[in-house]
Structure 1
Amino acid sequence: MENQSSRERKKISRRGMLPLLGSGLLIPFLGFGKTADFVEASTTEEEEFKILLKPDGTTVKVKVSALKNSKVVKKNVSNSSFLNWLDKKL
């Protein structure tokens, strides 16, 4: 008799699975992600980025420190020369 009653207790029905699935879907909302303190600590002045334009028209993220150490080739660029640099026809 003990054998039958232990089998009945171990059976899991579909209704018994619904609370388990529902609680499993709530796990991402508990807040195990990054905290604001961690994000602020990782963004220092050396790790700041600027978005620049490449000649093919795509954008690139570049570190600010790399920009400070770079050499300026041409400071004032006209609109037509800029469009030629982008390979666009007038």
Structure 2
Amino acid sequence: MKIQSKKGVVNHDLSEAPKISRRGLWPFLAASLVFPMFARSNSKRSVRSEDHNVDAKEYETLLKPDGTVVKVRRSTLSSSRIVKKNVTNKSLLSWLSRK
């Protein structure tokens, strides 16, 4: 194939195109793995915070008798009955120490 350039007519053979060796692929491979870590969008963060706010409004954290924490829907709490109101610290600790 003949190409006209400023220096004159140049013969180019397509079979002699520059080939990329294995060593030449490493920078491309490394860049393809590293760049996605830096290219995070802010839209995902805002969606997560909105989900967290909805989650916080919909659920309430309570303490079980064995001392573990549980998330309970507020609608369930509104339909439940109160066993004991205004629990003192001593009675709460005795309730938690039961096993």
Task: Please state which band the TM-score falls in when normalised by the shorter chain.
Answer: 0.5 to 0.7
Q: Hey, which bits of structure 1, 4+ residues long, moved more than 3 A?
A: 41-47
* Number of residue pairs matched by the alignment: 85
Aligned partner of 2:27: which letter?
A: L
Aligned partner of 1:25: which letter?
A: V
Matched, 1:55 2:83: no
**Greater relative contact order: 1 or 2 (C-alpha under 8 angstroms, separation 6 or more)?**
1
TM-score normalised according to structure 1 size: 0.63
* 1:23 equivalent in structure 2: 32
Seq. identity, %: 34
Q: Which runs of 5+ in 2 are unaligned?
A: 1-12
Cα separation, 1, equivalents of 2:21 and 2:47: 46
RMSD: 3.3
Matched, 1:9 2:26: no
What SS does the aligned partner of 1:34 have? helix
Matched, 1:69 2:79: yes
The structure that has the greater radius of gyration is 2
TM-score normalised according to structure 2 size: 0.59
Q: Which runs of 5+ in 1 are unaligned?
A: none
